[in-house]
Structure 1
Amino acid sequence: MIFTGLRKGEVRRLEWSDVDLGNRLLHVTSKETWGPKTESSTRTIPLCEPAVEALQMAWERVEKRSVKSSLVFPGRNTPRPIPRSRSR
């Protein structure tokens, strides 16, 4: 995601529980089915204003979707992550 330095895989697996808009933080943590590239990749990233605005817009889009997902950027019409082929 722009302004965060996240890897593509991290963006694809980013969940709303990782986002703390109130404190302007993003947490990169291991998931049940996925983990950061290295142990040191688990981190907390401060969010700049453009990143906060982008996440707020993403939240508004997610709320309007008929298919609910915990992912910040779910695939089209599915609660699963965006396929790798579409995230390039």
Structure 2
Amino acid sequence: MSAYLIVDTKINNPTAYEEYKLRAKPIVEKFGGIYRARGGAMDVQENKLWDPTRIVIIEFPDVQSAQALLDSEEYAPAKLMRQANAECTLFILEGV
């Protein structure tokens, strides 16, 4: 069953974050991830619980693949780069 890695990102250092995106993309793809949305325009219709900033949605074959990416040694340096240059809310959502 598909799973979605969903990230809301407030970028604090745009230059460094561009480098993160270049490093992360091939690793994400190696773990079966397909970018479905990546910081596109948003039209927030209702907002009582969450104030989204920049949304990224990555589809994976299953929850295990998404978790494997996040736990991998390959992604660890990119993860540190992301955490140093952005504030994120990140979760894995199981598909239907």
- Which TM class, normalised by the smaller chain length? 0.3 to 0.5
Structure number with bigger Rg: 2
Normalized per residue, the structure richer in strand is 2
Calculate the TM-score normalised by the size of structure 1: 0.33
Calculate the TM-score normalised by the size of structure 2: 0.31
Say which structure, 1 or 2, has more relative contact order (CA 8 Å, 6+ apart). 2
